[in-house]
Amino acid sequence: MPDIHEINATLIEGFRSNAGNVAGMPEGIVILLLHHRGARTGTERVNPLAFQRVGDSYAVFASANGSPTHPDWYHNLKANPKASIEIGPDVIEVTARELRSEERITVWDQQIKHAPMFAEYDQKTQGLREIPIVLLERA
């Protein structure tokens, strides 16, 4: 199985060479590049993430493909909510906040409707965790 860092590097390269259009993405999936700082190190990290537009903001999903643990980028945003994203050729400064209750349910239901694989990720967690949804709002 390919290393996640190799997969991410390939996605990032494809994203940047095609103005945000990445070939081979499953139907219903669009991605952005999240620039965030490590919670302990402060080192800048970049992750390609599926997203959903929510008004003028962007929802991202800490699914980690159904892993039993949250992805590192989620912990980093909790510690350092100021970040930036690449959407196509644009770079946007954002502030992250986790969605809760009704707001979360509405966004989650939309995501499953447009990208059913997220329901599979939820099942793979086997109830060990709820997949967090983080809203990236323009700073």
Reported as a single tens digit per residue, the pLDDT across 44-54 is: 999 999 999 99
What integer pLDDT is reported at residue 22 of this predicted model? 78
* Per-domain residue ranges of the chain: 4-138
What integer pLDDT is reported at residue 7 of this predicted model? 82
Q: Which residues pair with 133 in a beta bridge?
A: 61
Q: Using CB atoms within 10 Å of the CB of residue 57, give its burial: 0 to 12 exposed, 13 to 18 middle, 19+ buried.
A: middle
Task: Write b or e for each residue in 77-111: b if 16 or more Cβ atoms lie within 10 A of its Cβ, otherwise e.
Answer: bbeebebbbbbeeeebebebeebeeeebeebbeeb
DSSP state of 81: -
User: Rounded to whole angstroms, how far apart are CA atoms 103 and 130?
Assistant: 14
pTM of the model: 0.90
Q: What is the CATH number of domain 4-138?
A: 2.30.110.10
What integer pLDDT is reported at residue 113 of this predicted model? 93
User: Rounded to whole angstroms, how far apart are CA atoms 63 and 43?
Assistant: 22
pLDDT digits (tens, 9 = 90+) for 87-107: 988 999 999 999 999 999 999
What integer pLDDT is reported at residue 12 of this predicted model? 83
Contact between 26 and 100 under an 8 Å Cβ cutoff? The reply is no
Six token digits for residue 25: 């993405």
What integer pLDDT is reported at residue 17 of this predicted model? 79
User: Rounded to whole angstroms, how far apart are CA atoms 71 and 48?
Assistant: 12
What integer pLDDT is reported at residue 2 of this predicted model? 64
**What residues in the chain have per-residue pLDDT under 70?**
1-2, 27
Q: Using CB atoms within 10 Å of the CB of residue 128, give its burial: 0 to 12 exposed, 13 to 18 middle, 19+ buried.
A: exposed
What integer pLDDT is reported at residue 9 of this predicted model? 85
